[in-house]
């Protein structure tokens, strides 16, 4: 697998704080698409599958309680809110409307990912598919900070990096002055449980899971594969697969990855068009 190495700042830092570590209040209600989605991932009325080619539809889970109350949610888990259920259902309906049929479905072992997957499959008339759970598809582990407020977690990271307060640190994280690999490495150093994960650890386990699924599916003739995972971990997985800037991932947005001839192509990131199609069904 040939990948173009890059350290993702700016947008990824923004998504790490405002969207993915438990704080994305109202995120999945937003209807704006990323520039990349607008250009390269407009939904067609019928999506064809080429033999041997694997197309991953990687989606972030629906909105949860911890997302709403701005608490760190990595390995910790809370159920989907009503809005989270609704957006997952809309995604399923949009996929069905656009005739997207899956040969297999995967999720992390978190309840929020499992629930989202089942809702997507049910509403796309594919509930008969077996759900395969893989712990490698989990969100970042935040260790001692699991369930704590985002302010406490990122405030401590900022202080260790020399910032006086949470309020002073956040602009640096959002702007990319401090990148996400640095922030998560620092968080891991602060953790006293030994369970917090840095960027490289998550990237490698996510990519290992993706490669295993890709190889298995390719040998079986290819097809579309649904993966329901988590915002920060999805961005870590694709961080060296594309040179394009990475936008915030809204709840139930679709990141499409093509696997063919041993290579990955990130076709779109954070695409909301399937959800919009489902809402209009």
Q: Annotated binding residues for substrate, as ranges?
A: 60-67, 112
């997302």: which residue's tokens? 67
Report d(CA 74, CA 193) in Å as an integer: 14
Catalytic residues: 61, 139
Binding site residues, as ranges?
60-67, 112
Contacts for 122 with CB less than 8 Å, ≥ 6 apart:
89, 92
Question: Which of the 8 DSSP states describes residue 258?
Answer: E
Residue 126: half-sphere exposure toward Cβ, Cα within 13 Å: 26
Sheet holding 254-260, edge to edge: 131-133, 102-107, 223-229, 54-60, 254-260, 263-271
Detail the DSSP E strand segments found in 24-109: 54-60, 102-107
Q: Which of 194, 139, 106 is nearest to 22 (CA)?
A: 139
What are phi and psi for residue 74, nearest 5 degrees? -105, -90
């Amino acid at each position: 697998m040939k990948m173009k190495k890059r350290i993702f700042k700016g947008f990824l830092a923004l998504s790490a704080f405002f969207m993915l570590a438990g704080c994305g209040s109202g995120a999945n209600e937003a209807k704006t698409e990323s520039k990349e989605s607008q250009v390269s991932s407009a939904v067609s009325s019928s999506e064809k599958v080429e033999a041997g080619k694997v197309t991953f539809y990687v989606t972030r889970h629906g909105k949860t309680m911890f997302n709403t109350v701005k608490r760190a949610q990595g390995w910790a888990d809370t159920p989907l809110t009503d809005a989270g259920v609704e957006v997952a259902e809309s995604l399923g309906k949009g996929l069905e409307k656009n005739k997207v049929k899956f040969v297999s479905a995967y999720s992390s072992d978190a309840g929020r990912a499992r629930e989202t997957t089942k809702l997507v499959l049910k509403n796309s008339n594919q509930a008969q598919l077996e759900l395969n759970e893989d712990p490698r598809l989990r969100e970042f582990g935040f260790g001692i900070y699991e369930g704590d407020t985002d302010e406490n977690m990122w405030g401590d990271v900022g202080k260790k990096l020399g910032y006086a307060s949470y309020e002073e640190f956040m602009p640096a994280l959002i702007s990319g002055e401090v990148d996400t690999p640095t922030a998560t490495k620092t968080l891991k150093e602060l953790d006293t449980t030994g369970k917090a994960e840095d960027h490289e650890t998550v990237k490698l386990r996510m990519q290992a899971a993706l490669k295993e699924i890709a190889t298995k599916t390719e040998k079986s003739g290819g097809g579309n594969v649904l993966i329901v995972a988590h915002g920060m971990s999805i961005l870590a997985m694709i961080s060296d697969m594309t040179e394009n800037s990475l936008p915030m991932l809204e709840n139930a947005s679709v990141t499409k990855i093509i696997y063919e001839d041993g290579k990955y192509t990130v076709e779109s990131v954070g695409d909301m068009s399937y959800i919009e199609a489902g809402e209009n069904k």
